[in-house]
Amino acid sequence: MSDLFLGPLESLMADSSVSDILVTGTDKIYVEQAGKLHKTDKKFASRDELDKVIDSIAAPLGKKVNTQYPLLDGRMPDGSRINIVVEQVALDGPLLSIRKFSQKMLDVASLISMGSISANMFEFIRLCVLGRKNIIVSGGTGSGKTTFLNICSASIPADERIVTIEDAAELQLQQDHVARMETRPPDMDGKGEISMRRLVINALRMRPERIVIGECRGGEALDMLQAMNTGHDGSLTTVHANNPRDMLKRLEVLVMMSGIDLPSRAIREQVASAVQVIVQLSRIQDGSRKITEITEITGLEGNTITTAPIFKFKQSGLNSEGKVEGTFTATGTIPTFLEELRGRGMEVDMKIFQ
């Protein structure tokens, strides 16, 4: 990062406790730390300094930000995601949003010690990944979907060929045989775009054993479901939604964005047969992130996709420090695909469902 001029943002970029930096004009700089937003005492010395920072960030991307092109979306050299908006779209001066790229890889032990997931829940997810179940990680903004996708992917056997597709490359898969692809936005003349959808279709020609999509946010959802339904099992992706039921509705809307006119029942049939497990992440009121539900998609009854929660987080209250207290519990529901996992020679400890 040293070759970029970042002015007052330099120290914030270097502070490992800061996950997001949000700038509004020259004199308001906010950060997120430990899941909470607060205003810092840092400011830009002048509008010139702020413009210099914007130009410094935009230059390596081969882009300009000005009144003609007031929006910029991209990735900084260290992997951090950047979004810039300038006048006349931004009304009170330039807006910068930086989602810092975490160099530190969280692992399962860290999540368990932080109280984000229980050991039994992760053991179930590990079995699902090994057993080639298609999993969608659902969650709101900043709930930790990408981080969790990384952790899930660690359970993919080392000898499998994995193709990853992302808008901004954030996944850090540990396996050796990983083919990584990233979308490309259009240039200044609106040409040269490589969309997520095009990459998902292309991935099917690359002999993948697993397809991992950073986030489904458009018509590529249809191609992903078709891939899951045609032998590319064990695929993983994330979808932006606040609970499993909302995720199913959102997935339906995303499929409609493909421009292919499918009746809603046909879409639901695709979803019910393609996806087996939904892992719901949530940001709780104290700023912590937790897996609040793991649900199995069990089928289609009439026109409704049926689901069965297998694990849930039950909040019991707040402690004296304002931290959320609660327990991860198994609902007692036994997943319908357990026998299939055993048929693959996998050991399943039934105690995790008690």
CB-based burial of residue 67 (10 Å sphere; 0-12 exposed, 13-18 middle, 19+ buried)?
exposed
Q: Which of 315, 316, 291, 241 is nearest to 114 (CA)?
A: 291
Of 144, 143, 139, 127, the closest CA to residue 234 belongs to 127
Asked whether the beta carbons of 353 and 310 are under 8 A apart, the reply is yes
Task: List Cβ neighbours of 196 (8 Å cut-off, separation of 6 or more).
Answer: 165, 167, 183, 213, 216, 217, 218, 220
- What are the Cα distances from residue 194, in Å, to 27, 81, 183, 198, 328? 37, 18, 5, 7, 42
Residues in a beta bridge with 339: none
Question: Which CATH code fits 7-99?
Answer: 3.30.450.370
Q: How many C-alpha atoms does 279 have within 13 Å on its Cβ side?
A: 29
Write down the domain spans for the chain. Answer: 7-99, 108-353
Topology adopted by domain 108-353: Rossmann fold (3.40.50)
Average pLDDT, the chain: 93
For residue range 263-272, list pLDDT tens digits in order.
999 999 999 9
Distance, C-alpha 29 to centroid of its chain: 25
The pair phi, psi for residue 310, each rounded to 5°, is: -105, -35
Contact (CB, 8 A) for 246 and 240: no
- 157: its two tokens: 């056997």
Pick the closest to residue 217 from 194, 195, 184 (CA basis): 195
Taking residues 54-82, report their average pLDDT.
89
Please report which confidence band the pLDDT of residue 160 belongs to, taking 50, 70 and 90 as the band edges: very high
Q: How far apart are the first and last CA of the chain?
A: 49
In this predicted model, which residue has the larger pLDDT, 330 or 191? 330
Helices (H) and strands (E) in the chain, counts: 10, 15
Contact indicator for 66, 73 with CB cutoff of 8 Å: no
Q: What is the pLDDT of residue 209?
A: 94
Residue pLDDT, tens place only, 192-247: 899 999 999 999 999 999 999 999 999 999 999 999 998 889 999 999 999 999 99
- Taking residues 169-183, report their average pLDDT: 92
Coil, helix or strand at residue 150: helix
Token pair recorded at residue 61: 């991307």
Classified as helix, coil or strand, 299 is strand
> What is d(CA 124, CA 103) in angstroms, rounded to the nearest whole number?
27
Q: For residue 2, is pLDDT > 60?
A: no
**Torsion angles phi and psi, residue 165, rounded to 5:** -135, 125
d(CA 54, CA 44): 12
Given pLDDT bands bounded at 50, 70 and 90, which one contains residue 5?
Answer: very high
Give the separation between CA 341 and CA 128, rounded to whole angstroms.
Answer: 8
Is pTM beyond 0.75? Reply is: yes
Contact indicator for 133, 277 with CB cutoff of 8 Å: yes
Structure tokens, 41: 């005492």
Banded model confidence at residue 116, pLDDT cuts 50, 70, 90: very high
Of 172 and 334, the one with more pLDDT? 334
CB of 171 within 8 A of CB of 214? yes
What are 84-114's pLDDT values in tens digits?
999 999 999 999 999 998 777 788 999 999 9
Q: List residues bridging with 82 in a β-sheet.
A: 74, 98
Q: Would the pLDDT of 64 be above 90?
A: no
